[in-house]
Amino acid sequence: MKTLKSFFLFVLFAGLIGGAYYYFRDTTAPQITLNPPAGSVQKNTTLTLTLEDTTSGLSSVEVKILQQGKELTVLSKEYPLQTLQVVEELPLENLLLEDGPLTVEVTTTDRSIYHFGQGNTASTSATLLRDSRPPIITVQSVAHNLNQGGAGLIVYTVSEDVTRSGIQIGDYFFPGYQQPSGTYVCLFAFPYNVSGDETPRLIAVDQAENIGMGGFYYHLNRRNFRADKIGISDSFLNSKMPQFQHLFPDAATPVEVFLKVNRVLRPRNRARLVEIGHDTSDHFVWSKSFLRQPNAANRAMFGDKRAYIYNGNNIDQQTHLGIDLASIARAEVPASNSGRVVFADFMGIYGQCIIIDHGLGLQTLYAHLSKMNVAVGDLIERGQIIAKTGATGLAGGDHLHFGVTISGIPVNPVEWWDHNWVTNNITSKLDLAKQ
């Protein structure tokens, strides 16, 4: 009799434990993740809703969108047993919403018996801004005379806040920089290697990723760049290639190293110039014209199409994207204009090399130096002696390779040495951005 009583007590106790276990097994509400969680959306954005309840599983969900007193139920659903996670797509496209703020409310319940069988309920709400209109671009500057391989400057306004704007030409993008007046200024290149048939376009992208596009009047002078032949001698290869051998251990001969330098290292160095080109001020940090190294002869011009001849064979072809200036060995190198040093180190084909930033993506490059007097971060005055010429990197003899880049893309330096060109095409347009 006593044993039977103990047995019933045991069953009752076990039942209570088991019941309590099931009752308290899942006391946490499902997790809700809405993407995007905030910010701007377009009229055809699809929201993504992720629901998760890994203990008892999801039971149901309801999603409402509220705008200007209107309430739309966009999702109402029961889930089958063992639904631990779901991803729901919520397209906004056909919902007859207006531009402006809207609220998304999500409520979901799990299959727990907690709360006297009601389960755990989670709710969240997010406020999003619907924006269906692309920014409108208004061009303020006129008379855009461009040379292939040269630079241009455009002044414009946009109708709303944008995440980025600037000139797109071919595969190249040149960012515009907002000025204190609110107006934007974009310094851009018509790159030497972009076909004259390409049309530059102004673009502006808002927070909702709507893209506004604008054209502008311009005149392009097409250029035929010079063809040049460079003889590659064994003595040049023997003196210059050992410094690059460690980069290309598989190259068996000096000629193979040379071809690797041209075809692998050169593009890598160009890509580095583009990276450095982002390190710029949002305004020009100079006012006078650009200086040319004095008493030096032009040896190679911008855009020269160089054929490399070795033992009578044309072994490679590259474009020369600066101007070579030669005078005496170890000649003093003046800074072409005021600015900030953004690079002063060894860089592949350029050897010891200094890059000075002049603002709005405009930078000057001084290569093959034997001695550098400045360091990254130094503020430089126009005409200040920054280095001595040399033959470091891929240089056959002592000279200065002088380059001008815009957002890292090389342009013809000759334009920047021409005071009238700078006034007519650059600085006079800048005044429009002050208004």
> How many C-beta neighbours within 10 Å does residue 212 have?
19
What is the closest distance, in whole angstroms, from the C-beta atom of residue 158 to Zn ion in the complex? 39
Please tell me the number of Cα atoms within 13 Å of 319 on its side-chain side. Answer: 16
Residues 6+ apart with CB under 8 A from 354: 341, 343, 344, 365, 366, 369, 372, 374, 386, 387
Question: Per CB under 5 A, which region of 85-93, 273-281, 376-384, 399-407 contacts Zn ion?
Answer: 399-407
Residue 401 lies near Zn ion (rule: CB under 5 A) = yes
What is the closest distance, in whole angstroms, from the C-beta atom of residue 369 to Zn ion in the complex? 12
Supply the DSSP string of 179-233, one letter for each residue: -TTS-EEEEEE--TTS-TT---EEEEEETT--EEEE---EEEE---PPEEEEE--
What is the closest distance, in whole angstroms, from the C-beta atom of residue 407 to Zn ion in the complex? 21
**Type of residue at 97:** L
- The answer to whether residues 180 and 254 touch, using CB atoms and an 8 Å cutoff, is no
Residue 358 or 401 with smaller CB distance to Zn ion: 401
How many residues does the structure list for the chain? 435
Residue 110 lies near Zn ion (rule: CB under 5 A) = no
Residue nearest to Zn ion (CB): 401
Residue 237 or 301 with smaller CB distance to Zn ion: 301
Of residues 53, 131, 316, 324, which one binds Zn ion by CB under 5 A? 324
Token pair of 422 as six digits: 């700078």
What is the closest distance, in whole angstroms, from the C-beta atom of residue 390 to Zn ion in the complex? 13
Residue 47 or 409 with smaller CB distance to Zn ion: 409
Residue 17 or 328 with smaller CB distance to Zn ion: 328
Question: Per CB under 5 A, which region of 123-131, 159-167, 230-238, 397-405 contacts Zn ion?
Answer: 397-405
Question: Per CB under 5 A, which region of 59-67, 243-251, 282-290, 320-328 contacts Zn ion?
Answer: 320-328
Question: Per CB under 5 A, which region of 45-53, 108-116, 150-158, 398-406 contacts Zn ion?
Answer: 398-406
What is the closest distance, in whole angstroms, from the C-beta atom of residue 367 to Zn ion in the complex? 7
Residues 6+ apart with CB under 8 A from 116: none
Q: Please tell me the distance from the alpha carbon of residue 95 to that of residue 115, in angstroms, as a whole number.
A: 35
Question: Per CB under 5 A, which region of 241-249, 260-268, 321-329, 422-430 contacts Zn ion?
Answer: 321-329
Residue 175 or 322 with smaller CB distance to Zn ion: 322
Q: Please tell me the distance from the alpha carbon of residue 111 to that of residue 109, in angstroms, as a whole number.
A: 7
Token pair of 130 as six digits: 């619907």
Residue 144 or 320 with smaller CB distance to Zn ion: 320
Residue 26 lies near Zn ion (rule: CB under 5 A) = no
- The answer to whether residues 279 and 360 touch, using CB atoms and an 8 Å cutoff, is no
Residue 208 or 394 with smaller CB distance to Zn ion: 394
Question: Per CB under 5 A, which region of 40-48, 131-139, 256-264, 400-408 contacts Zn ion?
Answer: 400-408
Residues between 285 and 304 with contacts to Zn ion, criterion CB under 5 A:
none
What is the closest distance, in whole angstroms, from the C-beta atom of residue 398 to Zn ion in the complex? 12
Q: Please tell me the distance from the alpha carbon of residue 140 to that of residue 36, in angstroms, as a whole number.
A: 36
Residue 137 or 349 with smaller CB distance to Zn ion: 349
Token pair of 56 as six digits: 């008892």
What is the closest distance, in whole angstroms, from the C-beta atom of residue 322 to Zn ion in the complex? 5
Binding residues for Zn ion, rule CB under 5 A, total: 3
SS3 143: coil
Residue 128 or 395 with smaller CB distance to Zn ion: 395
> How many C-beta neighbours within 10 Å does residue 289 have?
19
Cis previous bond, 242, omega within 30:
no
Contact positions vs Zn ion (CB under 5 A): 322, 324, 401
